[in-house]
Amino acid sequence: MYQPLKLKPALKDYIWGGDRLIKDWNKSSEKNAVAESWEMSCHNGGPSVIDGGEYDGKLLKDVINADMLGENAKKFEFFPILVKLIDAKDNLSIQVHPDDEYALKNEGEYGKTEMWYVVEANEGAGVYCGFNKEYTKDEVKKALEDGVITDILNFIEVKSGDTLFINSGTVHAICGGLLIAEIQQNSSLTYRLFDYNRVDKDGNKRELHIAKSIDVIDSSRVVSANETVNVIDGVTRELAKCKYFTAYVHSVNSTYDINVTEESFVGITAIGGVGNIEYNGVSYPIEKGDTYFLPAGMGKVTLKGAIEAISYRV
């Protein structure tokens, strides 16, 4: 019989990261900063490890099978999603991700569509997402050459609880002062257009990918916050739905049932509070910063306590 699997994340210490995930989110690291916590990952660049139970210490990707993933995942060649917590102390690079067609043809891997749920936001913090009006690709290239690319981008000030959906081809960047939950395709394929002329700890600038970025950008794309949020009931809001994933946020004050069908596994990441996952008479503690994988076909799973959590499925 399947049971909830608690996950231990892979942690990344990129140059723009802060220390909130260490101080406030129970992420244990020898580093002074954690930029990203890969909460649910079967990506070779940072796979999740099962924490506790009969599979303790094993990689999630080595334990799961087709039945545990569910019917919807069968259309994908590999584990379909990657879920991160991102602590941006400073701005991330201005970047873009290709779609599947371009990525498969030119890189031999899949592209990347993603969504952001803003968990914490400093006053005035925001994101670059799309352009402030429609531009030609030549105009975008000229702005890059002149070092004024941020002048033509669409800056969106955000607050806790905001959602943004980032289609492949959309130029974007998370800016400093934000902690974001990201649900994305299982891909790390990123083209950087601009990185503020920063250098890493060894004094080297990070690689840019101007030609490929210009190839794949949608220079007419303008994004607004909360464009994909739908209210389901008094507890749950649907944050995004696409062919790669569906994501929800749950604000639970007592109990709430989640139905884990044969169609898809469900992932749960707690972003606030304390509670339990109740299944088949057993309680599994969950608090802010914890992530669980729920295999497909488990049926009714109950969240209990005062807890806010994001769930996602394919």
- Three-state SS at 12: strand
By the 8 A CB rule, do 121 and 174 touch?
no
pLDDT tens per residue, range 166-202: 999 999 999 999 999 999 999 999 999 999 988 777 7
- Calpha distance 41→152 (Å, rounded): 34
By the 8 A CB rule, do 287 and 274 touch?
yes
pLDDT at residue 227 greater than cutoff 70: no
Give residue 32's pLDDT band: very low, low, confident or very high (50, 70, 90).
Answer: confident
Largest CA distance in the chain: 63
How, if at all, do strands 36-40 and 94-96 pair? unpaired
DSSP 133: S
Amino acid letter, 166 = I
Cβ partners under 8 Å of residue 88, min gap 6:
16, 17, 18, 35, 174, 175, 176, 177, 178, 179, 180
pLDDT tens per residue, range 100-133: 999 999 998 899 999 999 999 999 999 999 999 9
Cβ partners under 8 Å of residue 57, min gap 6:
49, 50
pTM for this prediction: 0.94
pLDDT tens per residue, range 64-104: 999 999 999 999 999 999 999 999 999 999 999 999 999 99
pLDDT at 224: 73
Give residue 31's pLDDT band: very low, low, confident or very high (50, 70, 90).
Answer: confident
DSSP 139: H
pLDDT at residue 223 greater than cutoff 80: no
Handedness of CA 281, 285, 286, 291 (dihedral sign): negative
Mean pLDDT of 47-52: 97
Q: Output the CA angle 262-245-55, nearest 5 degrees.
A: 60
What phi and psi, each to the nearest 5 degrees, are found at residue 292? -125, 145
- Calpha distance 43→212 (Å, rounded): 23
Backbone dihedral region for residue 202 (phi beyond 0: left; psi -120 to 50: alpha; all else: beta): alpha
pLDDT at residue 50 greater than cutoff 90: yes
Active site members: 192
- Calpha distance 307→310 (Å, rounded): 10
Backbone dihedral region for residue 169 (phi beyond 0: left; psi -120 to 50: alpha; all else: beta): left
Mean pLDDT of 135-156: 94
Mean pLDDT of 230-249: 93
pLDDT at residue 146 greater than cutoff 70: yes
pLDDT at 204: 83
> Which residues on adjacent β-strands are paired with residue 37?
11, 85
Give residue 58's pLDDT band: very low, low, confident or very high (50, 70, 90).
Answer: very high
What percent of the chain stands above pLDDT 70? Answer: 99
- Give the mean pLDDT of the chain: 94
Mean pLDDT of 135-139: 93
